[in-house]
Structure 1
């Protein structure tokens, strides 16, 4: 009986540890994704400024990538100019 109780307690403890590890991994993945998203937006600042200055004529590669990311993450259909303005103004 004691060995069965030990097995049950051990199994419950292992299950709790697995849940904790899974939660930690999910949080780490979320933080990494947010960090990558911010890097993409940071890299697009100069391209966003050029895009705005040329009234949308010059679309640099960093801004193009940021536009895709913003639309995917935020599920928005905002115009390119509006997103470029937001990218440029987010550091202020």
Structure 2
């Protein structure tokens, strides 16, 4: 499987937000004005919806978003539910 690519685009409605697109899916919203930076993940995690993460830099938010996509794909491709579910 190829590494997923996240394309970051500025929100047309809220200039402070960037949307992280994975293919045609809006997977993330990043608030680039607040400090710390707030990363809103739209992808479900092992327990369903995910919490907002606060990160110290824009670069840290991009890195965390990439980790979240990898985690989602690993969970999506599992043949049985995680033991903690």
TM-score of the pair, normalised by structure 2? 0.29
Question: Which fold has the larger relative contact order, with Cα–Cα distance below 8 Å and residues 6 or more apart in sequence?
Answer: 1
TM-score of the pair, normalised by structure 1? 0.28
Query: In proportion to residue count, which structure has more strand?
Result: 2
If you compute each CA radius of gyration, which structure gives the higher value, 1 or 2? 1
